[in-house]
């Protein structure tokens, strides 16, 4: 049985993952409006992956006999100055998510919840990748600027494909 403090923290994290999904859907729509169909695809996959992250937490609470509570999703930004600006926001956002995961881990240590500590390791590794990817995008966009470079970069982002997270 999962303890109530951990259950509440994970329910909040489920909400944060769906909020992330919503933010990336908003970025995808923004990119479509800007004629950046490759970047729109990239953020749409990000949208799907965040939903997978939320579902993984949902399955975990259920597997430990807890109660899942779906909370309202906060409103998100809908406009950015450029694709670079959107990726800067992505990095900022992922750093916040990393901190949230770390906070749940700290709580799990305090509560002697070893199962949750073990479960969270997947998210800790995932956050390293999320932050690194956003930083790489920022670095690339700073190098290429606008125009033909951006056109080529967008074509590259169009090749990203979605792989659903395996259910264990």
Of 50 and 154, the one with the shorter C-beta distance to ligand OFO is: 50
Q: 77 in helix, strand or coil?
A: coil
Q: Is 14 in the site for ligand OFO (CB under 6 A)?
A: no
Phi/psi of residue 140, nearest 5 degrees: -65, -45
The whole-angstrom distance between residue 15's C-alpha and the CA centroid of its chain comes to: 11
**Which residue of 130, 137, 141, 157 would you call a contact of ligand OFO, by CB under 6 A?**
130
Q: What does the alpha-carbon distance between residue 121 and residue 154 come to, in Å, rounded to a whole number?
A: 33
Q: Is 17 in the site for ligand OFO (CB under 6 A)?
A: yes
Among positions 51-90, residues that touch ligand OFO (CB under 6 A) are 53
**Which residue of 20, 28, 41, 116 would you call a contact of ligand OFO, by CB under 6 A?**
20
Contacts of 73 (CB under 8 A, 6+ apart): 15, 18, 19, 22
Binding site for ligand OFO (CB under 6 A): 17, 20, 50, 53, 94, 97, 126, 130
């Amino acid at each position: 049985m999962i303890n109530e403090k951990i259950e509440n923290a994970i329910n909040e994290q489920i909400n944060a993952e769906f909020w992330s999904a919503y933010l990336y859907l908003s970025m995808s729509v923004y990119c479509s409006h800007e004629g950046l169909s490759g970047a729109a695809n990239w953020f749409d996959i990000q949208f799907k992956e965040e939903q997978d992250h939320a579902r993984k937490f949902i399955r975990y609470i259920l597997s430990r006999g807890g109660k899942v509570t779906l909370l309202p999703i906060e409103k998100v930004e809908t406009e950015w100055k450029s694709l670079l600006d959107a990726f800067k926001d992505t990095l900022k956002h992922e750093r916040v998510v990393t901190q949230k995961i770390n906070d749940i881990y700290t709580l799990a240590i305090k509560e002697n919840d070893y199962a949750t500590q073990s479960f969270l390791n997947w998210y800790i590794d995932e956050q390293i990748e999320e932050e690194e990817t956003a930083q790489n995008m920022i670095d690339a966009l700073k190098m290429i600027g606008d125009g033909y470079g951006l056109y080529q970069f967008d074509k590259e982002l169009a090749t990203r494909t979605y792989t659903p997270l395996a259910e264990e």
